[in-house]
Structure 1
Amino acid sequence: MTETTQMRTSPSGGGDAPRSPEFRLAMDALQGLRQDLFHDAFAYRPLPLMTMDGPLTRRLPDRLRSYAARLPHAVVVGAALIALFGGSVASGALGGPAALLSGLACAVPVLATLVRPVGAFWMSMAATPVVAVLLGEFGEWPWLPGPFICHLTVLVIVAIRTRPRTAAWMWTLTGAYALLVETLFGDGEYNTSAPMLFLSALALLVVAVRHVRREAQQEVTAQQTVTAHERSRRTLLEERTTIARELHDVVAHHMSVVAIQAEAAPYRVEDPPPELERAFATIRENAVAALTELRRVLGVVRAEDYEAPDAPQPTLADLDALLANVRDAGLSVEKAVTGAVRELPPGVELSAYRIVQEALSNTLRHAPGATARVEVSYVLGGLGLRIVNGPIPELTLVKPSPGAGHGVTGMRERVSMLNGEMTAGPTDDGGYEVAVFLPVTAPTEGEA
């Protein structure tokens, strides 16, 4: 506490003396003023074309879009013509070089906002006394009609093109200029400072609200994009975890069989050599070690509320029971099997069953009342699946209840795990089709 007190009461002339919050706030404000209105004030910053992704511009024909993209430029040119009229005609000078120069002095700053927005602000400030000198009218200080239109237009355009802090600095300098001119040259009868400050404050407030709203929309859009990406990634990881849990039983069964056969093999041979016994013992040890690691992996991917299934993992032999369950839920589904039915690897059987199950669940959710068809094709190189449903009936009383949209993701993960192929999409009649091919390598004679 003592050291802190001494440091705060150190002489102000010291180089390491702490600054007060007010001093730092003032320095930050001056730094912002310098950065916004003085640093590269006349830098070349052309006005970009208008985007064509709005609700109205999106409906325009292609031929008109190129013209509609330049609508902001046309608006600025129109405002410059109004300022030209105000500077040359509305001020009372109906002709002559003075009126022309006055109109140009009011129009040029407005046009300059197209390429040098901050510089246009300083040009409009300079145009105010220039027009007064050219027209010889000092009664309506500090803004005559032409400079009034010019400066107000420039303030709004520059505020739209920059940020709210820049708009606040421009309004502050405008008020300081008005106060200075009225104090030095005003006659007290009539001045345009109050209308200018009121109208410009109102316009800049609207522009600032527009900026804040647009930034908020952009931030919300960015957050929604990140959230959707994270949700998709989390869904993918959840699907892979589910697949790993289901395949654990299949792999564990095979490793258990390997361990048992390796243990029993030496007893089937009379007087086996020691090398053979050691080889089978090594096989059994590796199988048991693999089972232990599988249990550890399952423990990592298992959720807190996960319960190991009591029944074995389903196969295509259980497909009829699945279809009967779906029919009880109100879905009319038929099954067709082609090719020579044979036993497939357990991973293929399980993945095929889950794909059919998920496809029929999607039909129940998205197309209630529709009919479905499941085709299972045993071909030479693997297994083909096709699950297709018709459109939603017009007279159905049940409304679709879309889920989270993760079903297709899970099916693709299962197909990708087996190096298969899958297509999913709407049909011509308004239904939906899922087509899958799961390759199965034919066992060689030695493996058989």
Structure 2
Amino acid sequence: MEEVLHPDYSACRRTSGPVGRTLVDVTRFETTAVESRFREGLVLPFLVLVSIAVTVVRWPGGVVLPAVALPLFVLVSITAVGVLLPWRWLTGRRLLVAMTAYMLLGALLLPLAHATTAVLLPYSAAATAGGVLVSRKAATWLAAAGALVAACATLVVGHLAPATPQWPWWIALTVGLPVYGGIANRARLDALRNARRAAEEALRASESEAREAALLERGRIAREIHDVLGHSLSGIALQLDMADALRGNGCDEEAAAAVRRARALAVDSISETRRAVHALRESTLPLPETLGRLAEHNAVDFAIDGEVAPVGVEAAHTVVRVAQEALTNTAKHAPGAPRTLRLAFVDDRVTLTVHNGPATAERGGEPAGGTGVGLVGMRERAALLGGTLKAEPAQDGGWTVELELPR
């Protein structure tokens, strides 16, 4: 009988509600628990104090053997107040000893003051034992012992004072019955507390899921910004650098053409931004047409293998972004190299291959700066959709990027 104190009995009467108050269920559980704590923490002590006060006022009326009843009544009153009030030091074995004294002294007082309100004290002791002792076995045995003591005390007092009316001894056995009410009430409080904890955990889980979804969405938006703006701005910067170099060499017509290409890229970036917003809203993306326009703007050979089949929004969006990133990297790191863009449909998968040969011109400045975010973003996109991305040198001295995704 190491642990007989209900671990959260005092806490359930003193603590405030759960931290998470945004769920309706949490609030409902909290309100019910507060009402239960009110009944447990105020009503029962109030009834006990009233019974003690009424008995004091009417003393010694209705009392048998006052010389014996008085010290018993004083001791029972002290233990009742000590047990029912939420003293922090009254825990564990101290509580068990106090409850034992409360139950047995109240049972002894029963036949001596059965005509007064003090008769409520042993019944209150049994109910309190069922509510504060975590061990049901300990509470039941204590109530049974109290009932047995009350019955025996009734027989003894009836023998010592035969002229005084007494309860039948078997009625005194009912002293222990309220213990089952206390146990049931404690079980109900436990159920409310567990339900409240479950609601709090559900709230924390939903908040964690919301934070995770927000982080995923931030990552997705970051990839969109990099893919759309990074590709477009890099291309515009390259064309403007080329125009500047051509103008410095006296090639005005070629420089003007480079400026026009830069403008075309700027206009195209606006369209790509609109398509990105469109994809974020779960609309469809015409994959072959989009790649065809991308190849046309970048002067890249484009081919389609297999029968064109529908591709999911996320998969199509990823294919376009990888194509943009690969072409941008090719323009920066292999200027003048021949480039090809190939889209293949095989079974339930779609494959994009971007290949460039060795550079045929000298590398100039890198206006966009290499951060490594592009390659990481491409691999992240492929992994999120259950696909793979390979970027490796080709046999002809160039570079090949291959993306394979489920449709």
Coarse TM-score class (shorter-chain normalised): 0.3 to 0.5
Structure number with the bigger relative contact order (C-alpha 8 A, sep ≥ 6) is 2
Compute the TM-score of the two structures, normalised by the length of structure 2. 0.44
Would you tell me which structure has more helix in proportion to its own residues?
Answer: 2
The structure with more radius of gyration: 2
Compute the TM-score of the two structures, normalised by the length of structure 1. 0.40
